[in-house]
Amino acid sequence: MAQEIIESPITGTIISIEVKVGDKVEEGDILLYLESMKMENPIVSPVSGKVAEIKIAPKQVVESGKPLIVIDI
């Protein structure tokens, strides 16, 4: 099975995670919210599939390029 690794597009703090492992997601669904420069940025799924792994936690600071969520497609 192929996997899509969702990476952080910017450095920021994880505000909330909107999915859990095992959830089915569609392309465009919001996976989490990332705060950067006092703005809440929704991170959306680029593919449809099933959440296989969540690599971050709320309030965690992440750098650009850090893997956030793995989706089985």
In the chain, where the domains are located: 3-72
Percent of the chain topping pLDDT 70:
100
Single pTM value for the model = 0.94
Render pLDDT for 34-49 as a digit per residue (tens, 0 to 9): 999 999 999 999 999 9
Q: Which residue carries 């650009």 as its tokens?
A: 64
What average pLDDT does the structure give for the chain?
A: 97
Cα 26 to Cα 8: distance, rounded to the nearest angstrom = 19
Which CATH code for domain 3-72?
Answer: 2.40.50.100
* pLDDT at residue 1, rounded to an integer: 77
Residue 55 dihedral angles phi and psi, to the nearest 5°: -100, 5
